[in-house]
Amino acid sequence: MHRQSLTDYGKPLQATDAPTPVPTGTQVLVRISHCGVCHSDLHLQDGYFNLGGGQKLDVSANRTLPFTLGHEIAGVVEAAGPEAAGAVQGKRYAIYPWIGCGTCGLCARGDEHLCNAPRALGITVDGGYATHVLVPHPRYLLDVEGIAPEIAGPLMCSGLTGYGAIKKAVAFLRAGPLLIVGLGGVGMMGLQFARAMTDKPILVADIDAAKREAALKLGAAEAFDPADAGARKAVYKASGGGVGAAVDFAGSEKSMGFAQGAVAKGGAAIVVGLIGGTFTIPVAMFPLRALTLMGSYVGSQAEAVEMLALVKAGKVAPIPVEARGLDQASRSLDDLRAGKIVGRVVVTP
Ligand SMILES: [Zn+2]
Ligand SMILES: [Zn+2]
């Protein structure tokens, strides 16, 4: 099998070859058709996450080099082990990549994406910048009938992240409407899922006027510029005294300050974005505002299936996708780093 692999942190990917694995037991060998190039791959390439305030989170542990990145994988079953029941040879699937150890309490309750000993494809075990990927069990193969193959992979990351966060938010909309802060790719997906999941008005906020305009076209009720000094007051007015839930898809000190400040009593602020930084809030505000503060990280396999059902039902406008050859993986990471990519790049072997 051919791969584009990380051979050294902070360096371009290199072409590497390895014997094509032969699946045993419940394993499934998938021939990759498309793999999305994701912003989080940049942190893995660097070997650290910038937490803000000069703090770095080392993400180079538990990985041996060369390592193959890529977690937004779609492909076709090429071979399956003798116990891999249900894996249909030649059938097209998206691969749920957030795979856990399979034995801990988190995995047992279906929260493999939160497992502390993950086997996540393209994160802790070899992933999708390759011709093939080995999947440990057929349960991670998700049916994507009717979904364009080039968006099936990215749905496992940006789609699932948007869906998982909005699902948490919907439970708090008794307290008021929804506010989405940060209208990048994930925020836009979140907006579309929200449209499918609630009848409450959806307010949006972003510093970029073009993104606000795009969100209004996708059904947002009102859009705000958080850099505007009167923005918080305007959100309060539009929401009749605060929103039930604010989802922060940016995840910076500023965006979080804005998001939690817009929440009504009894509501929730949900952090998704990973820009970083720190923010402070007087402890007494939690009881006095009956405020819930929570984080949301991708989503479970069950949520991935729910999310795909919404996409199959036509509730989500297709994201613009550019397909490039597998040998363009490293250049695509560079382009992403330089902010030169609109929509999603997928590499295709
Ligand atoms: Zn991703
Ligand atoms: Zn586990």
pLDDT at 56: 87
Show the tokens assigned to 108.
């047992």
Is there a cis peptide before residue 136, judged by omega within 30 degrees of 0?
Answer: no
pLDDT at 55: 83
pLDDT at 341: 83
Q: How far apart are the CA of 98 and the centre of ligand 2, in A? A: 11
Distance CA 132, CA 235 (A): 48
Residue 285: how many other CB atoms lie within 10 Å: 12
Q: How far apart are the CA of 298 and the centre of ligand 2, in A? A: 16
Average pLDDT, stretch 46-74?
A: 89
Average pLDDT, stretch 132-145?
A: 97
* Reported pTM: 0.94
**Buried residues in 5-40 as b, exposed as e (16+ CB within 10 A):** bbeeeeeebeebeeeeeebeebbbbbbbbbbbbbbb
Average pLDDT, whole number, for the chain? Answer: 95
pLDDT at 260: 97
* Whether the predicted pLDDT of 96 surpasses 90: yes
Q: How far apart are the CA of 106 and the centre of ligand 1, in A? A: 21
HSE-CB of 132 using CA atoms within 13 angstroms: 19
Q: Which residues surround ligand 2, an ion (CB under 5 A)?
A: 100-101, 104, 107, 115
Decide if 265 contacts 175 (C-beta within 8 A): yes
Q: How far apart are the CA of 109 and the centre of ligand 1, in A? A: 23
Read off φ and ψ for residue 41, nearest 5 degrees: -60, -30
Q: How far apart are the CA of 113 and the centre of ligand 2, in A? A: 8
pLDDT at 53: 73
* Whether the predicted pLDDT of 253 surpasses 80: yes
* Whether the predicted pLDDT of 261 surpasses 80: yes
**Closest ligand to Cα 128:** 1
Average pLDDT, stretch 98-102?
A: 97
pLDDT at 279: 87
Average pLDDT, stretch 117-136?
A: 97
**Beta bridge mates, 49:** 57
Q: How far apart are the CA of 160 and the centre of ligand 1, in A? A: 10
Q: How far apart are the CA of 299 and the centre of ligand 2, in A? A: 14
